[in-house]
Amino acid sequence: MSGLTAGGNGGAKTDHAAYIDPASVRAARSAIPGDRMVRALAETFGALSDPTRVRIITALAEQELCVFDLARLLGLTGSAVSHQLRLLRGQRLVKYRKEGKIAYYSLDDDHIRNLMEECIKHVSVG
């Protein structure tokens, strides 16, 4: 491995590390988001890693729904759905509006719908 580092320092990583394709590495490095963005992206994908939350997101991609209807649709309790919606709201994946005592949930914006559509396409291929 020491053949990939410059300066003859016995393989220790330095800022002057040599690469097989330095231009490609520079381009890749500039594409990597900052730490705050990386954490936010990881949290967003983490929120989408639960099958129940995926079902909720896909249902809301089609239609705004209240907790009661979501619970009946998914065969879950209202409290279980509310818990998942709270997590999704925390990640700004869903939003709600109140009509009297009933809260209606929808996707926070079209980016979430687009993300899910792209993920479905990705999983469907192959």
Domain definitions of the chain by residue range: 2-32, 36-124
Confidence at residue 15, expressed as pLDDT on a 0 to 100 scale? 56
Confidence at residue 27, expressed as pLDDT on a 0 to 100 scale? 96
Question: pLDDT tens-digit profile of 5-16?
Answer: 344 444 445 455
Fold of the domain spanning 36-124: Arc Repressor Mutant, subunit A (1.10.10)
pTM attached to this predicted model: 0.79
Distance CA 34, CA 30 (A): 10
Q: Which residues touch 124 (CB under 8 Å, ≥6 apart)?
A: none
Mean pLDDT calculated for residue range 95-107 = 97
Q: For residue 3, which phi and psi values (nearest 5 degrees)?
A: -70, -15
pLDDT over 90 (residue 106): yes
Mean pLDDT calculated for residue range 3-29 = 68
